[in-house]
């Protein structure tokens, strides 16, 4: 499985980190602003507790308020955000509460212990929905939970006497006072703030992400350039190397290792070529001498049939070895690029038939059915006659050697403004589609045994492919089905009709 690119990893990592930072930042901002707002709200509630205590007083065994109820209501927020409630500590019975609280709703009992005095608490109470403006809670209004911030305290009322006599302080009354503030608006503001921070963070991260993509893409361009340079290196035909000075410092080790690898591969290829060429040259003279000795022995009078048969087999093997040596020499020249291409006017039909002539006798012996469909005789092409002759000779040899007896062979050509196509199709000797790559490889044969391969070494088709693609600039394609084994040569050459050139 192919791993993700560096660019993708960086973008995914940045996106994930941005989301984490956005979420943490939004929640942190929400918490900080909430703490500030609720801290100010607690100061307000403490002041409210203090001046509400002053309003309560004790007359004998009951609690009264120095301020009248209308004045107390005037001290409340007209928008209904502030509430208060007085209760007896002894039995929890209500003394007085804000008129804005529904009859069946009480503030929570907080601040009953000294450690809980003046400490803010968050809770919820049920309030009349804003849609019901009648203010009459006896009509079973729709209630909804409302968040509040509340604070409580227990204090002893200051005794007063309605008469001019002394004040009775024998039995002070303890009162539990709770004040609260409706936090709906604060929570809405905080919620909007959180959403806006998240939205701003997402937009900012998106813009930064685009910038990072551009920066990463720009930074990764040297990698693409190095990849293109590696692709353009022709290992076996040049001394080209990657330029370290054009690479970022981070890629120096990779570039140096690639150059070292190219050098090792180039040296290995050169050593292989030198060995092939030297071995082929060294074998030519001994093989020629061996052939001469065999032919002389065959020409000698008085040899018996067994000796003649053995010498004939030796001559067949010697011819095969000469063919292999000649192919190796040609392959070495093609690999080294020393085989120069010359462009001559070649009468196509005449050249093809002339190249076919040496194989006519073998085709007749195998009783092959030959069908020709060549271009007109006045059609010529601009090409290398030697290489084209080697190419066609190898293909014809391959065809007549492997066609079963009584088989068919079709040789055709088509000329166009783009070049020519030469098609050589013969009866399929049993080649399958999956065997094409093996046949085109060096020393690749369908039957690896020599006696089953018609004396062929398996280099011919590879040489043909090298000639077509590397020297003639064309394409060689193989097509196989149950009946036919077809080789198509597509050569982009100049076509000459009479004395007129068509490019």
pLDDT band at 150 (very low <50, low <70, confident <90, very high): very high
What pLDDT does 33 receive?
92
Res. 165: pLDDT tops 70: no
pLDDT at 32: 92
CA nearest neighbour of 328 among 473, 476, 467, 460:
460
Predicted confidence band of residue 351 (pLDDT cuts 50, 70, 90) = confident
pLDDT of the residue at 80: 63
How far does the chain reach from its first CA to its final CA, in angstroms? 47
- Quick one: pLDDT band at residue 204, thresholds 50, 70, 90? confident
CB 424 within 8 A of CB 410: yes
Most confident of 186-195, 269-278, 299-308, 437-446: 186-195
pLDDT for 9 beyond 60? yes
* Confidence category of residue 238, pLDDT binned at 50, 70, 90: low
The answer to whether 124 touches 143, Cβ cutoff 8 Å, is no
Per-residue confidence at 137, pLDDT binned at 50, 70, 90? Answer: very low
- Percent of the chain scoring above 90 in pLDDT: 9
Q: Where are the alpha helices (DSSP H) in 81-166?
A: none
Which pLDDT band, with edges at 50, 70 and 90, does 40 fall under?
A: very high
- For range 272-286, the mean pLDDT: 74
pLDDT tens by residue, 461-471: 777 887 788 77
Q: How confident is the model at residue 342 (pLDDT cuts 50, 70, 90)?
A: low
Q: How confident is the model at residue 43 (pLDDT cuts 50, 70, 90)?
A: very high
Q: What average pLDDT is seen over the chain?
A: 79
Q: Calculate the alpha carbon distances from 185 to 99, 182, 188, 497 in Å.
A: 20, 8, 5, 94
What does CATH list as the number for 249-334?
Answer: 1.10.287.130
The size of the chain, in residues, is: 503
pLDDT (average), residues 105-114: 89
With cut-offs at 50, 70 and 90, classify the pLDDT of residue 236.
low
Is residue 49 within 8 Å of 177, Cβ to Cβ? yes
**Percent of the chain that is helix, strand, coil (3-state, to 5):** 50, 20, 30
Percent over 70 (pLDDT), the chain: 81
Vertex 456 angle, CA 455 and 458, to 5° = 155
As assigned by CATH, the class of the 342-502 domain is alpha beta
Per-residue pLDDT, 138: 44
* Both tokens assigned to 347: 């009468």
Q: What's residue 312's pLDDT?
A: 83
Q: Tokens for 144, please give them.
A: 């909804």
**pLDDT given at position 78:** 59
Q: What are phi and psi of 57, to 5 degrees?
A: -145, 165
Residue 259 is predicted with a pLDDT of 87
469: DSSP letter: I
**The two domains 249-334 and 342-502 share their CATH topology (first three levels equal):** no
* 86 has a pLDDT exceeding 70: yes
Q: What are the domain boundaries of the chain?
A: 6-192, 249-334, 342-502
Helix, coil or strand: residue 172: coil
**Which pLDDT belongs to residue 451?**
45
Cβ atoms within 10 A of the Cβ of 89, count? 15
- Which pLDDT value is given to residue 161? 66
pLDDT at 385: 79
Identify the pLDDT of residue 247. 80
Highest averaged pLDDT of the listed ranges 175-179, 376-380, 443-447? 175-179
Q: Does the pTM exceed 0.95?
A: no
Query: Quick check: 112 pLDDT over 70?
Result: yes
- More confident position, 123 or 280: 123
């Amino acid at each position: 499985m192919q791993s993700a690119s560096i660019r993708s990893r960086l973008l995914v990592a940045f996106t994930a980190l941005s989301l984490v930072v956005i979420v943490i930042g939004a929640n942190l901002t929400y918490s900080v602003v909430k703490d500030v707002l609720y801290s100010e709200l607690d100061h307000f509630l403490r002041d409210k507790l203090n001046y509400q205590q002053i309003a309560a007083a004790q007359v004998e065994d009951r609690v009264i308020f120095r301020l009248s109820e209308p004045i107390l209501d005037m001290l409340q927020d007209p928008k209904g955000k502030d509430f208060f409630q007085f209760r007896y500590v002894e039995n929890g019975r209500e003394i007085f509460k804000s008129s804005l609280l529904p009859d069946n709703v009480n503030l929570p009992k907080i601040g009953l212990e000294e450690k809980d005095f003046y400490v803010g608490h968050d809770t919820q109470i049920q309030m009349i929905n804003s849609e019901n403006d009648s203010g009459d809670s006896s009509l079973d209004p729709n209630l909804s939970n409302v968040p509040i911030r509340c604070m409580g305290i227990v204090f002893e009322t200051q005794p007063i006497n309605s008469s001019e006599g002394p004040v009775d302080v024998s039995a002070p009354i303890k009162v539990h006072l709770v004040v609260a503030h409706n936090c709906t608006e604060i929570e809405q503001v905080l919620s909007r703030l959180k959403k806006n921070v998240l939205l701003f963070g997402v937009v900012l991260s998106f813009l930064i992400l685009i910038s990072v993509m551009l920066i990463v893409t720009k930074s990764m361009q040297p990698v693409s350039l190095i990849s293109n340079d590696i692709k353009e290196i022709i290992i076996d035909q040049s001394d080209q190397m990657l330029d370290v000075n054009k690479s970022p410092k981070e890629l120096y080790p990779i570039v140096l290792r690639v150059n070292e690898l190219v050098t090792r591969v180039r040296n290995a290829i050169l050593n292989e070529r030198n060995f092939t060429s030297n071995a082929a040259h060294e074998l030519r003279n001994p093989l020629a001498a061996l052939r001469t000795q065999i032919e002389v022995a065959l020409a000698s009078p008085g040899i018996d049939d067994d000796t003649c048969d053995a010498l004939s087999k030796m001559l067949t093997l010697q011819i095969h070895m000469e063919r292999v040596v000649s192919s190796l020499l040609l392959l070495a020249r093609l690999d080294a690029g020393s085989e120069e291409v010359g462009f001559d006017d070649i009468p196509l039909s005449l050249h093809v038939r002339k190249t076919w002539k040496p194989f006519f006798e073998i085709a007749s012996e195998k009783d092959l059915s030959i069908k020709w469909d060549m271009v007109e005789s006045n059609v010529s092409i601009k090409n290398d006659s030697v290489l084209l002759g080697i190419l066609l000779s190898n293909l014809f040899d391959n065809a007549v050697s492997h066609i079963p007896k009584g088989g068919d062979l079709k040789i055709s050509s088509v000329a166009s403004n783009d070049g020519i196509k030469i098609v050589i199709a013969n009866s399929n000797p049993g080649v399958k589609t999956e065997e094409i790559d093996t046949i085109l490889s060096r020393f690749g044969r369908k039957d690896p045994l020599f006696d089953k391969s018609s004396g062929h070494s398996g280099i011919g088709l590879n040489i043909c492919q090298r000639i077509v693609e590397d020297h003639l600039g064309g394409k060689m394609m193989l097509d196989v089905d149950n009946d036919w084994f077809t080789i198509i040569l597509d050569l982009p050459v100049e076509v000459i009709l009479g004395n007129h050139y068509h490019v």
